[in-house]
Amino acid sequence: MNARLKSLRRKKIVLTVIALTIVVLLIFAANVSPMFWFVVGKSPEEVVDLFENEDMLIPEAMILDPLILGHEGVVDEVRKRVRERDMNNRSYAFYFLGCNGTDADLALLVSIATDTTEDLYPRFNAYCALWMVDKALASSAFSKLSDDDIVLKKTIQDFRTAGGPVPKCRSWKEAFWVGGD
């Protein structure tokens, strides 16, 4: 009888531990950004495809989260695709590269901002992404604009005068946790 009582106590302890573990996991899962579950285990190409998907209803503040939560290969895939002028969410990809802030990313943004064969809108957004992380480099890119870029120069001057209202870079922690903290 004593052995049977001990066995029941052990089962009760094991079941309690299992129940507590399930509760902790459910609390964790409920507070992790839903975007995390979309990108976990995906290749860089799949993550960028998700980012480009026009059917995804993602709040604007979270639009970069698939890229932020993706692994290192995602940055290389974004660098490759951002050169394609028909890329969906291309302007947001500029901000992602600006936040990434490597020399290669900033050089790519400078080349897009100063490329006269690009349309005005992507050039302006590449400039804004530069301005967000390196105002001196953005000013240098601005000085390289030709006199024919009157509209772009005026738009950039207005942007700079207004204080450059650009989004802040989201951290991995902000992208991972619901509410960012």
* pLDDT tens digits, 127-164: 988 888 888 888 888 888 887 888 888 888 888 888 76
Q: What angle do CA 67, 70, 74 make, to 5 degrees?
A: 70
Q: pLDDT tens, 99-123?
A: 887 888 999 999 999 998 999 899 9
Task: Give the residue from 103, 112, 55, 53 showing the smallest Cα distance to 75.
Answer: 103
**Helix/strand/coil for 116:** coil
Start-to-end C-alpha separation, the chain: 52
pTM of the model: 0.75
Query: Does residue 31 or residue 62 have the better pLDDT?
Result: 62
Q: Which residue type, as a one-letter code, is found at position 127?
A: Y
Distance from C-alpha of 180 to C-alpha of 150, rounded to nearest angstrom: 40
